[in-house]
């Protein structure tokens, strides 16, 4: 028996008849980690579907990040990898809100250390805003 959302009471579990896409053999964006080329300023285009919703930046300096083309409620996960000179810190775009006192947490201080930050677009327009969630800090 298939249970549909209209039949599910609060707290119950149900089955979905199929994925909500036309091709049931395709999961969009799965397994894609787009690499952002290091530069002093890195523009991250949220609409670039060839790079997916996961991006990686190898930190060879302290880049200034610029977010372009976000959509409301869209999320983007960025994997920061420290090079041989750790403690590099990106300069984030205006409009990013952080937990724990409202400042960017310290990223990994070890060579090859990995940090994941997750950004969710909370407002668009003239001054977009983003919530920053901590995915994992100082992964070894």
Q: C-alpha angle with apex 93: 89 to 94, nearest 5 degrees?
A: 125
pLDDT confidence bin for 135, thresholds 50/70/90 = very high
The pLDDT value given to residue 19: 46
> What is the C-alpha to C-alpha distance for residues 50 and 13, in angstroms, rounded to an integer?
35
User: Over 70: is that where the pLDDT of 90 sits?
Assistant: yes
CATH tag for 25-139 (out of 2.60.120, 3.40.50, 4.10.860, 3.30.70): 2.60.120
> What is the C-alpha to C-alpha distance for residues 70 and 86, in angstroms, rounded to an integer?
30
Token code pair at residue 20: 């909500």
Residues 50-55, mean pLDDT to the nearest whole number:
91
């Amino acid at each position: 028996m298939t249970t549909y959302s209209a039949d599910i009471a609060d707290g119950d579990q149900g089955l979905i008849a199929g994925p909500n896409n036309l091709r049931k053999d395709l999961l969009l964006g799965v397994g894609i980690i787009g690499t952002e080329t290091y530069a002093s300023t890195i523009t991250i285009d949220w609409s670039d579907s060839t790079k997916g919703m996961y991006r990686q930046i190898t930190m060879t300096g302290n880049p200034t990040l610029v977010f372009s083309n976000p959509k409301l409620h869209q999320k983007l996960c960025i994997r920061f990898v420290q090079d041989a000179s750790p403690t590099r810190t990106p300069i984030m775009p205006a409009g990013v809100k952080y937990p724990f006192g409202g400042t960017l947490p310290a990223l990994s201080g070890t060579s090859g250390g990995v940090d994941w930050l997750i950004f969710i677009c909370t407002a668009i327009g003239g001054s977009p805003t983003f919530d920053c969630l901590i995915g994992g800090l100082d992964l070894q």
